[in-house]
Each structure stands twice: as structure tokens, then as C-alpha cells.
Structure 1
Amino acid sequence: MSELLPLLLFVGAVMVLLLGYSVAFSLAGTGLIFAAIGTMTGHFDPVFLEAVPNRLFGIMNNETLIAVPLFVFMGVMLEKSRIAEELLDAMALLFGPLRGGLGISVTLVGMLLAASTGIVGATVVTMGLLSLPTMLRRGYDPRVAAGTICASGTLGQIIPPSIVLVLLGDVISSAYQQAQIDQGIFSPETVTVGDLFLGALLPGLMLVGAYILYLIFKSITSPESVPAIPKEERDAVENLGARVLKALVPPILLIGLVLGSILGGLATPTEAASVGAVGAILLAIVRRSFSLTILKQVMKSTTEVSSMVFIILVGASIFSLVFRGYGGDDLVRDFLTDLPGGVVGAMIMVMLVIFLLGFFLDFIEITFVVVPIVAPILLTMGLDPVWLGIMFALNLQTSFLTPPFGFALFYLRGVAPASVSTMQIYRGVIPFILIQLAMLALLAGWPSLATWLPEVVYG
């Protein structure tokens, strides 16, 4: 019976979440209820809950996590000040002469928004509102338009600097230290957010390149589904080059400054994020799109997202303590190590579970609840921590695209016009899901795609 309790705890938390209750309070409440039941029945030692204050203090004292509200602020400011809208218009005109050019511009702008915002929902909704009506008006196949927007919106999972990678980096770092302790190794070596940023750079750019190649393929095999912008419309635009440079260069410089300072070791993620937040304000001022009203809206959105992240982290910490108190980590370790195929079998099982959970839970819950349980076990089995973190991020990105429950599909459905059916959205993402799976297979077969750049830069 005692071996079933950790499983019942996990299933109970998922069931409560599916009923629609708040994630943070579902995790914390389920954990505390099971702790009370276990204490009364003698299956749980309440001494585990004494670690809760230290856990919460550690969360609030974690300098890396301060980067989260700062990155959110930067992304929301770029969105609210209409810098993203100007960028999309300029890129669309630049690639307009090409069939599929508008789709390519949406992919590239989605990549830049992903690098600045890092939140899947915000990027998909923004791209849906800005680009979907334009793509449909220009004669794009609704399936291609919807698929391109959903796929480019989920790039926030993998393109640095990403909030997902910031949170994953912190959790993977703790898991790596725990794995070393479990193996009796006491080393100052650790995994940083910068390592994950570098590790994600090459797979992320390859993914963007694969999306663009698919759109080029569509322009050859089905040119009517991805038409070019009419020549008269392009010729009516004055000073196209200057307009493109004005819209494109400042955001790229800002993102390059933030990312370059982290990768070059000149600044911590938190310091670089603060530069990004101030830089976004300066960009809005220079473009005369800054006002106190916009600042209030940005601060409100930042507070909402940041509060959600940290309260979920608090609930997940309580849940994980109770799960460990029931011996759940030992149960998971025994299960994974006994699987046929050794570390390969264990990795496949974990990836499958995370993929399925991605249908129902956001990346924050999976990062704070599931990853701390399975990552130390997989790292003890000899897997590289940077490669493991990138595989998790890519897996979640694929899950968020997959019908019928992918989060990105729901976000786009919420802003898409009635003329675009749900089935068209589902069909549109299928080619991009296949690209994602191919990228996962490549990364699984060649881990150096994720590990090479960190080794070159940091040695």
C-alpha cells in the first residue's frame, strides 16, 4: 500500500488540475492533504514539512529567478509599444516578392518575439492577432497560415534568452548537484543558464531553418497556397530599405546585447535581463510609443505572469517535499532503472510522460514538478545535463503543438476568425510537428548539437 501512495498523490494532483482548480493551490493543497492522511496512518513523517520555510526562502533568495520578471517586462514592453507590429510589417515587405515570403517573415518575427518574450501564449496570441488576418487577406491557405503561426509561437521554448530555459537551467542545475551527491561526488562544477542558452542556440536556429525550408517547399509544390505580395503594393512603399532597417536593427541589437552579455560571461542572466528591460523602455521612448498608460499595462502584465510563476513554484515545492516524504523519488528511480534498454529505455519513458503531461500542464508546472523528480535519476545514469535540458524543452515545444490538446492550438483558436476552422488549425501544424520530431531524433542521435557550443565557449 505504501508504494501506491506516491502514485496516488501524483494522480490526485493531476485530477484536481483537470477539474480546473488553480495550479499552485492544487499542488500545495493535494500535497498537504496527503501529508495529513499519511501522518495519521503512519505512512508519512511530518518532519519533511519542516523544510518548507527553507525551500521558500531559497526560492525568494534565488538571484537567477529574478531574471523571469525582467525578461517578461522586456517582452511585454516590445509588444505593447507596437515594436513587434512594425517589425512584422517591415519583414513582410522585405520578403514580399517571394512566394511564401509572408510566412517566412512571420517565422523570423516569431523567432525574435520568442527570444524577447519567451512565453508561448503571448507569442502565439500576438502573432495571431497581427499576422493571421494579413495572411488570409493575401490569399494564404488557412492551414499553412495557422501552422506557421503556431510553430513560430512555440519557438519561445527553445530560442534564447527564453524564460523556459531560465527556469529549466535553475532546476537542471539543482538536479545535477543532487546527482553528484547521490554518486558521492563533491565537485564545484555546475550547470548554468548560460550553458542552456548556448546549448539551445544551434538546435533552435536549425528548427527555424527547417520551418523556412518547409515554406519554400510549399511555394514550389503549391504556389497558390503561399502567394507573394502584389507588386503594386510593394512599389507603393517609399524608402523600403530605411523602413526595414529602422524596424529590424534596434530589436536585434537589444536581443544581441542581452544574449551576448550572458554567453560572453560579461553578465549574469539577471543582470542581462535588467539591461533588456531598460533597453525595451528606451526603444519605446525613441519610437515615441512610450506613455505612462503603456508602462502601467506592462507592469500589470509582468506582475501577473511573475506572480503566477512564483506561486506555482511555491506549490510545487510543497508537493515535491511530500512526494519525497512518501519515497516517491525512490519509487521512480527503481522504475526507471528496471526498464529494459537501460538509460535509453528510461529516457524514452520520461520523454513520453513529459510529452503527454504537456497536453494538460504548462511548462512551468512540468519544470517544477516533474523535472526535479526524473532529472537527478537520468543524470546519475550518465546523461549530459545540457543535452537533457534541451531535449526536455524541445519535447514540450512539440507537445504544445500536437492536436487535440496542444496549448498553442487553443491560444490561436481563441484569436482566429470563425472562417478558420479548428480542423484547419490541426492539419496546419502536422508538418511542423514532423519537423519537431525530426529535430528531436537528430538531437538524440547527435547530442553534440547541444553540447558542442558550450564546450567551445566555456571549455
Structure 2
Amino acid sequence: MIGIIMFFASLVMLLYGFPVAFTFAAVSLLFGVIAGIVEVGFDDGVWQGIVDGLDEGLGMFDFMPFRIMSIMQNTILMSVPMFIFMGIILQKTGLAEKLLESMGFLFGEIRGGVAISTVLVGTLLAASTGVVGASVVAMGVISLPVMMKYKYNLPLATGTICASGTLGQIIPPSIVLIILGDVFQVPVGDLFEAAVWPGLSLVAAYILFILVVSYIKKDFAPAIPKDPSRGSKSKQVINALLAIIPSLTLIVLVLGSIFAGVATPTESSAVGCIGAILLAVLYKSFSINMVKEAAFESVKVTSMVFGILIGATAFSMVFTYTGGDEIVEHFMTNLPGDEKIAFILFTMLAIFILGFFIDFVEISYIIVPILVPIADTLGISPVWFAILIAMNLQTSFLTPPFGFSLFYLKGVVPASVRTIDIYKGVLPFILIQVAVLLTIVFFPEFFGIKP
């Protein structure tokens, strides 16, 4: 039971606000020593038992340098800093502003048009930048004032922005999918390909929800009155295409090269970086200082991810040493009903609840490695299981009280927008995500995924 106690001790420390990487490393070291002392016992006296236990417990960490070296040599994870760099460069080019402006003019004259534009721009940003914080902030600054001006229902407006901003967690190229590809040891390209239809289904569900709400509650999302100063409809379409084509070209280059088998995700991430810099030049926002800032921010985010990975490696090593994985496997394989479905539903519920409190990176590196061997034992497709987890982890960005998207948006909205408005706004979108998730659980073939 030492491993199980260690798991809950880590959760408690995280809830108290301790740094994630240091929490996992410190808890692993402490419980590794405790496990060593328990293993040795006190047959030769208390003091001798503690000394021998320390030697035994610390001895398991002799292999940590080799584990860290294998992380450093992992070519899959090389794409993480490059995709982050690509996203930050595109965020600094003002891509979101251009897309939102043109899309808003294009769809504004129908009910819910600005909200639909926000979802579509969120989709394009997800497929080109994948940076959740930047997407939510950009749309909160640009799109929300327009919706408030035309008397949109505040919960609907804020919920749409939060949900659209999190699409980068499931729509490729997604950092979550890269991390899960490493954890599951499956090609990241396979995960990217499998995630396309679930991601687009989520987009379609969002738009359908907005259209239905706009039709039933006509005052929730009114149409923007026609403005002759915007030019003819054909001119608006041309302006929208001019804004979309550059980012769409980059998406095709990055994802197309992976799906066609021309390049690996790591190689395509390098192509994406070059493409992002060329777009910055095209939008006349390129500068050496911008590249330096983007590189610095990329290093900070990547360091956080790899710091957590090293702490998680120590955690999983001690968890396995203490037999925690065997307890979890015994519990999971003895759930009532169909083994596969019962296991998947239970794990989805557990990850959903954990998403209220801890970040997707911790869940990916701490929880998922415990579940992977069990899923393999039950004959569950790793690609299917990884897509389910990615969809579930996206929900963690929206769930109160610690959903990151809620904090990002609250930081840029006017004082008149209350936190409760944002919480109420995201609830329907959380339910939509859960509905799509359950559809992928029971009908994976509909999304082109082999269960």
C-alpha cells in the first residue's frame, strides 16, 4: 500500500501549491526510503534497520541517470520545444486578430455568427499554434468586446471563447498527443491522424449548440446589423480567404507531411518553425527581438514539461517497486461488467475528476503510465485509448475551479464579467465534450478509430 499512499500524498501536496516536478521527486525519494526500511525490517535492531533501509531505498535511484539520459535522447520529445516555438511565433504575428476580424465580418450577419466565428478561428489556431493560453487571451480581448457590444448572453460568449481556445489539446499538432505518443510508445503521426475526426466532431458539436441556442433564445446571440462600410459580400469572402490561406498553408505543410509519410512529427515541427517565421515576415511583424522572446518562452515551457517528466520517472519507478501497479491492475481487471468498457469508463471518470485539480502534463506522466500496461493486458488499442485520454484531458482546461482557460479569460475580461458567468458558460461545453467522449468510447469506428 506504500505506492497508493505515495500517490495520494503527491495529490495533497499539489493541492497545497507545491511545484509539480519537485513534489514528485521529493515524494518519490521519501517513500523510496520508507519502502527500503519496510523491506529490510528491524530484525537487526532499529538503528541498523534504518541504515540498511536507507541503503536499500536509495539504491533503486542508481538507475535514474540512465532514465534521464533516455529522456534526453528521445527524438519524439524533440518536437515539443519546436511546436511550442512555432505557436508562440504565430501568436506574436497577430494571426488571431486577422482571422477573428475577417471571420466576424463573414458570419456576423447570422444569429450566433460571432460565436461561430470564434469557434472556427479557435479551430484554425489549434491546428496552427496549439497554444491554449494565447488562443483564449486573443479571443477574449478581440471577440468578447464585440459580443458584449451586440448584447450576447455573457455565459454563452465566455463559454464559447474558453471552449474554442482549448481545441489545441485534441486537434493536431497537439503537445498532449506528442506526450501521449511517448508514454504509449506509438507513432505520434498515428495519433495525429486518429485525432482529426474527433476534433472536428467537437467543433461541429459546438457550432450546432450555438445555432440551436441562438434559434431558441433569439436574444442570446443576435445578428450584427449589416454595415455597408464593410464592402460587398464577395469582398468580405476574399478578405477572409486572404487571412485564412497563409495559416491553412502552414497547417497543410506540417500535418500533410506527417500524414503523407514524408516527414516525422519532429521533422515537420522544424518545418512549422520555418513556416511560422515566414508568416511573421509576411505579416510584417518579424524582428530578431521577437524570435529571442519566443525562444526564451519556449525554453521556459519546455523546461517545465521535462522537469515534470523527470520527477514523474522517479515517481513511477518507486510506485512499481512498492507494488502499487499490481494493486491498481488487480482492481482494474476485476471491475464488474465487460472488462474493456468497465476499465475505460472507470479510467475516464478518474481522469475527468483529477482534471479538476491537476494539470494535463502531470496526468499524462503520472496516471497514464500506470494504466498503459493494464490496457495492453486487456487488448485495448493504444491509439484509441490515447485519443480518449486526450479528449478527456482537454476537458480539464474547462472544469472549475482550476481550469486554466477560466483563469486565462478572467485575466483579460472587463470587471463587469463575473467569474460565475464564465463558470456557467463552460458547463454546456463540458457536457458536449463528455458526450463526444462517450461517443468515441462506444462507437470508435464512426471516427475511423480501431478499438
Give the corresponding residue for 2:15.
18
Moved more, 263-272 or 115-124: 115-124
Partners of 1:444 and 1:364 in 2: how far apart? 22
In the TM superposition, 1:49-448 aligns within 5 A as: 49-173=61-185, 191-232=186-227, 235=230, 239-341=235-337, 342-448=339-445
Q: What amino acid is aligned across from residue 128 of structure 2 in structure 1?
A: S
CA deviation after TM superposition for structure 1 residue 431, in Å: 1.7
Q: What amino acid is aligned across from residue 214 of structure 1 in structure 2?
A: F
CA deviation after TM superposition for structure 1 residue 293, in Å: 2.4
How far does the alpha carbon of each residue in 1:39-60 deviate from its partner, in whole angstroms, 9 at most, with x for none?
Answer: 2333665443222111111111
How far does the alpha carbon of each residue in 1:101-130 deviate from its partner, in whole angstroms, 9 at most, with x for none?
Answer: 111111011111112232433322232223
SS across alignment from 1:223: coil
SS across alignment from 1:57: helix
CA deviation after TM superposition for structure 1 residue 291, in Å: 1.2
How far does the alpha carbon of each residue in 1:425-448 deviate from its partner, in whole angstroms, 9 at most, with x for none?
Answer: 111112212211211121111122
Give the corresponding residue for 2:45.
none
Bigger Cα Rg: 2
Aligned length: 434
Runs ≥4 residues deviating over 6 A:
none
Provide the TM-score with structure 2 as the length reference: 0.92
Could you tell me whether the CA contact under 8 Å between 1:118 and 1:157 is conserved in 2?
yes
Unaligned runs of 5+ in 1: 174-190
CA deviation after TM superposition for structure 1 residue 253, in Å: 0.8
Partners of 1:77 and 1:331 in 2: how far apart? 46
Could you tell me whether the CA contact under 8 Å between 1:96 and 1:234 is conserved in 2?
no
Give the corresponding residue for 1:180.
none
Partners of 2:232 and 2:305 in 1: how far apart? 43
Moved more, 214-223 or 6-15: 214-223
CA deviation after TM superposition for structure 1 residue 17, in Å: 1.0
Provide the TM-score with structure 1 as the length reference: 0.90
Question: What fraction of aligned residue pairs are identical, expressed as a percent?
Answer: 50
Give the corresponding residue for 1:183.
none
SS across alignment from 2:17: coil
CA deviation after TM superposition for structure 1 residue 236, in Å: 5.5
SS across alignment from 1:97: coil
CA deviation after TM superposition for structure 1 residue 385, in Å: 0.9
Q: What amino acid is aligned across from residue 434 of structure 1 in structure 2?
A: L
Partners of 2:131 and 2:38 in 1: how far apart? 43
SS across alignment from 2:274: helix
Structure with bigger RCO (C-alpha 8 Å, 6+ apart):
1
Q: What amino acid is aligned across from residue 317 of structure 2 in structure 1?
A: L
* C-alpha spacing 1:274/1:226, structure 2 compared with 1 (3 Å): same
Could you tell me whether the CA contact under 8 Å between 1:135 and 1:145 is conserved in 2?
yes
CA deviation after TM superposition for structure 1 residue 281, in Å: 0.2
Which of these residues, 30, 35, 38, is aligned with residue 33 of structure 1? 30
